[in-house]
Every structure is written in C-alpha cells, then in structure tokens.
Amino acid sequence: MTPFAFDRAGDLPAALRAGGAPGARFLAGGTNLVDLMKYGVEAPRRLVDLGPLDGLRRVEETPDGGLRIGALVTNADCAAHPLVMERAPLLASAILHGATPQLRNMATTGGNLLQRTRCYYFYDTATACNKRAPGTGCPAREGVNRIHAILGHSEHCIATHPSDMCVALAALEAVVEVEGPGGARRIPMADFHRLPDDAPERDTTLAHGEVITAVAIPPDRFGSHHTYLKLRDRLSYAFALVSVAVGVGMEGTAIREARIALGGVAHKPWRREEAEAAMRGLAPEAAGERAAAILLEGARGFSHNAFKIELARRAIGRAVRQAASGTPQHHANKVIL
C-alpha cells in the first residue's frame, strides 16, 4: 500500500472538512478500498475513517412507514434487522446473496453503493483501463469479458457494477441521502450510478467530499411477492453473472404493479419503467416475457458474455414467477423453483 495520512472523524462536519481535501477518501468497512489499495489501483493520500460516526449506524422508521438505513449499518446488521426483514425482505435477501458472512460483518450500506467494478483489467495495474487510467483504452472489449456488460456499455468501458444490494435498492426505488460541503442532497437510486459513456472513471453522481449518510426506502408494497434471483459460476460466494430483483402487487392471478431491476448486466442496476408498465394486468408468464423483451432491448454481448442475454431472459421469467407466487428464492437453499 502507498503510505497515507489517517484521520478518525470526530463528527460529520469534521469528516466533511477532512474528506474534502484533494486526494482524501472516506473509509467505512474497508473491504473494497483496502483491497484496491493493496493492488495499487487506489492510492489515496489521506483516509478519513467514518467509523466513529455512530449516528450513521442506525436503522429507523420514517413517518410514512418506510425505513432509513444509516450509511455505516453493516450489510450483516441490515439483513438481520427485524424492520428490514419485515418491510424490505427483498433487500435482506439480496444482501444475503452477496459476499460472505465475514465480509458482510464489515461491509457497510454506503461502501456497498460505492464499490467498484470487478473487471480483471481494472484490477491489473499492468494493463490499460479507461476506468482506472482514463484515455488508455479498454482491453476488456477484445479480451476476457465473461463478467462484463450487455446493456448500456460504451466504446470506452463495458464494466458492470457488482453489487447485489444495489439491485434490490433500485427495484425498491430507494433514495440515497448525502451531506456535502454544499449541504444535503437526496439522490434517487436511478440517478445515483452512471452509465460509462465517455467518462468511465466516474461510477456515480456523488461529488468528491460528499458523504452518504443513509438510504431511505419507501413503504413496502409487495409483502411476500418478491424475489432476488442470482445466477453465478458457483452456488455461493461469487459475483452475479445475472441477477434479478423483482417485487409485484397481485390482483387475483394478474400482476397489478411491478418493479424489476437487473444486476450483472450493466454499469448500474438496470431498470426500465416501460417494462414495469407493460407487465400490468398480465399473468406472470406473459408479464415475464414482456418485461424481458423491453429490459433486454438493444442488448449486445462480446466474445465471452453473449450468453448473458438468453440467461437474463430466462432469469427474468423465473423471477417474475417466483415473485408472483410469493415464493422468494432462498439464499441457502439453492433449488430454483
């Protein structure tokens, strides 16, 4: 690791002051940043440890019946919190499908949102990569790209966002709450992560020096009619090749309303309101087909990942059926109904 200066933030204003300095970075669980610093991919001049900010470690109810999850709540504590299990079981399930118990004990809500891609070339400082070193090129396009994007990619970058949690947050229409030198902001999930376009070095719309304080989740509308279906190269402890987060409201055997987001396929959780609108009034089978057709419009694969297009189509069908029948995928029982 390149040596760096270290601060433990006393309170939020102090954290904002220290974190605003050029080359400074915030540290939460460290499971992504410390890893990338060991690889030499990241080399901050100063780390500002958010650990002491206990006020960011709470899960609370909001007046409208939704939830606010503090940025420092660990992924393990979030998934096990009674309020989250009751009102956002889709979020709990997505979290439990990611990483390992040890990592989830360290990983935080804020850090998970800001984790970086697992693209092999991004991690390998001996290669070119537009995300790590803008302007050097994107070897993944012609190289090993099994884990890369099929949607929303650009000629400059075809990386995916690797988070499971964020796919559920997108389907739940969560809002990221932020404090910065310029005051507080609320960023809807749909606007938080970016597509690569011609600036793949920027993953999100967060500005330097801004701190994520919490994620707000609207009141639950789906009850047990949700699922997080994650398909990967091993049964556990692997990033998603394709994942689907879906929640539906049912009227008899037809879908009254739906929210659906895909993971593992793009630079951000992939959601299209047109797909959700098209599912209304349909039986699950037909709704899944319509949603897949719209969500995968324009999908284009590369030498090693074109299989994801068909995999995603089928995963969407399965997931919509699971959600409609109120039988969410279990993270430990690997049988896919």
Partner 1 sequence: MPDATPPAEPALALPPPLTLALTVNGARHAVEIRPWTTLLDLLRDRLHLTGTKKGCDQGQCGACTVILDGKRVNACLVLAATRPGSEVRTVEGLEGPDGALHPLQAAFIEHDAFQCGYCTPGQLCSGVALIGEGHAGSAEEIREWMSGNICRCGAYPHIVEAIREVAGR
Ligand X SMILES: Cc1cc2nc3c(=O)[nH]c(=O)nc-3n(C[C@H](O)[C@H](O)[C@H](O)COP(=O)(O)OP(=O)(O)OC[C@H]3O[C@@H](n4cnc5c(N)ncnc54)[C@H](O)[C@@H]3O)c2cc1C
Residues forming contacts to ligand X in the complex (CB under 6 A) are: 25-33, 35, 50, 71, 98-99, 103, 106-108, 110-112, 114-115, 162-165, 211-212, 239
3-class secondary structure, 214: strand
Listing DSSP states for 59-116 in one string gives EEE-TTS-EEEETTSBHHHHHH-HHHHHH-HHHHHHHHTSS-HHHHHH-BHHHHHTPP
Report if residue 332 touches partner 1, rule: CB under 8 A: yes
* Residue closer to partner 1 (CB basis): 23 or 223: 23
State in angstroms the smallest separation of the CB of 104 from partner 1.
9
Report if residue 95 touches partner 1, rule: CB under 8 A: no
State in angstroms the smallest separation of the CB of 43 from partner 1.
7
Partner in contact with 5, chosen from ligand X, ligand SF4, partner 1, none, beta carbon below 5 to 8 Å by kind: partner 1
Q: For residue 82, how many other CB atoms are within 10 A of its CB?
A: 8
State in angstroms the smallest separation of the CB of 273 from partner 1.
34
State in angstroms the smallest separation of the CB of 8 from partner 1.
7
State in angstroms the smallest separation of the CB of 33 from ligand X.
4
Rule CB under 8 A: which of 102-131 touch partner 1?
Answer: 102-103, 105-106
CA distance 122 to 127: 8
Options 37, 41, 114, 122; binder of ligand SF4; rule CB under 6 A: 122
Region at 105 (left for phi over 0; alpha for psi -120 to 50; beta for the rest) = alpha
Q: Which amino acid is at 335?
A: V
8 Å CB contact between 78 and 69? yes
Rule CB under 8 A: which of 10-39 touch partner 1?
Answer: 27, 29-31, 34-35, 37-39
Report if residue 138 touches ligand SF4, rule: CB under 6 A: yes
CA distance 226 to 42: 37
3-class secondary structure, 208: coil
Residue carrying the six token digits 């229409």: 173
H runs (alpha helix) in 230-295: 273-279, 284-295
State in angstroms the smallest separation of the CB of 313 from partner 1.
27
* Residue closer to ligand X (CB basis): 111 or 284: 111
Pairing of the two strands 46-49 and 175-180: unpaired
Rule CB under 8 A: which of 204-243 touch partner 1?
Answer: 236-237
Residues that bind partner 1 (CB under 8 A): 1-6, 8, 27, 29-31, 34-35, 37-39, 43, 45, 47, 49, 51, 76, 99-103, 105-106, 236-237, 331-334
